Amino acid sequence: MAFTPEERIAVEILRRLKTVVVEEDQHTRLAEVYRVNRDATDWTPENNAIVLVQGSASRLPELDCPGNPPANAYQLEFAIVGFIRQSDREELADQSEVNQLVALAKRSITPDSNWYTFGGICHDAEFGDVTPFVPSNGSLAGASVQLNVAYKVSELDPFLVR
């Protein structure tokens, strides 16, 4: 079965995020990375967890390419959401750990100078806003990092990257 460019991009982002190494209780381990199902029954928020959320795909007609058939350009939004839950007695601020997890996630996405192509699927990618969230009842703190990727597909075949 052929996969859409959107799915191939998401799989590559997940693969890269799964390389994030975090420190927890003076030990290092890989961060838990998820792409949750519709009702999130396969996931529970935990310390040093990263969730990839796919957003909307918007047309970028100014980047379309003429041809026979033409190529249509799109921008696809992703949110990379990191969660931190420290001990109640921890002296280090939650936001310090959140900043660390965000930086580790960004670094995993950008392993080399061609990171933005995601293996030749995209022609551009950029990080957007980082939006922190604070615990309302002593639960998890964290932040959401926006990642926008631009790609082109054949007008006649949405599986064919151009």
Q: Tens digit of pLDDT for each residue in 25-70?
A: 788 999 999 998 776 677 778 889 999 999 999 999 999 998 888 9
The helix (H) or strand (E) run that includes residue 27 is strand 27-30
Residue 76 has pLDDT above 90, yes or no: yes
Instruction: Report pLDDT digits (tens) over 12-24.
Output: 999 999 999 998 7
Pair 47, 112: CB distance under 8 Å: no
Work out whether the CA dihedral 128, 79, 8, 115 comes out positive or negative. Answer: positive
| Residue 11 DSSP SS3 | helix
For residues 144 and 133, give the distance between their C-alpha atoms in angstroms, rounded to a whole number: 8
For residues 75 and 60, give the distance between their C-alpha atoms in angstroms, rounded to a whole number: 7
Tokens of 19: 């390389």
User: With pLDDT > 90 as the criterion, what percentage of the chain qualifies?
Assistant: 69
Pair 105, 130: CB distance under 8 Å: no
Amino acid 88: pLDDT? 67
Which residue, among 73, 57, 60, 50, has the nearest Cα to 144 in the 3D structure? Answer: 50
Instruction: Report pLDDT digits (tens) over 121-134.
Output: 999 999 999 999 87
**Regarding beta strands 49-59 and 71-84, do their DSSP bridges make them parallel or antiparallel, or are they unpaired?**
antiparallel
